[in-house]
Amino acid sequence: MGKKILLGVTGSVAAYKAAELLRLFVKNGDEVRVVMTPAACEFIAPLTFQTLSRNPVAVDQFAQPAEWKPEHISLAEWADLALVAPATANTIAKMAYGIADNLLTATLLATKAQTVVAPAMNDGMWSAPATLENIEKLRSRGVLVMSPREGDLACGRRGLGRMPEPKEIFEELK
């Protein structure tokens, strides 16, 4: 209770689940700041997260920062925990290779906070050798990677790749 949680939301249809996850943390007394990738904004509006968190939502890497520091640095230093939920294969790959081409990946590269990812992707993407290598690379650096769940996927298939349910993520991190 009372933790400072940076919630990274990426471009997956599972982004709608991040709103419920945020609500659970706020209800627990945690302060949550949300950083969305531009692709995430195609699935859910920043206003949803702003309303639920009662904090501005960061999306634009080149927006005028509220503080004197660049926003990715102030967010990175602020967080007790960095949680990426949902974490797409694209963002996981960027994290594994240190690519910081958006506000979220730049913030994750700069933070010293414990980082957790909750993957969400098609089963073929999850089982791809490149993704599995990226997951192992992140784990070797101390990133906690939650296992995706089996079930109905947005692509119409059934398989391993669903993001864990918000309540599961919350309970594991609590």
Where do we find the tokens 């784990």? 139
Told to judge if 155 belongs to the known catalytic residues of this protein, a careful annotator would answer yes
Annotated catalytic residue within 16, 155, 159, 168: 155
Positive or negative: CA dihedral 26, 68, 60, 110: negative
- Regarding beta strands 81-87 and 158-162, do their DSSP bridges make them parallel or antiparallel, or are they unpaired? unpaired
- Regarding beta strands 81-87 and 57-58, do their DSSP bridges make them parallel or antiparallel, or are they unpaired? unpaired
| Among 80, 65, 85, 79, CA closest to 23 | 85
Locate all alpha helices (DSSP H) within the chain, ordered by sequence.
15-27, 46-53, 71-78, 89-97, 103-110, 123-127, 129-140, 166-173
| Inter-CA distances, 32 with 8, 20, 24, 141, Å | 10, 12, 10, 24
| Among 117, 76, 112, CA closest to 96 | 117
The residues carrying an active-site annotation are 155
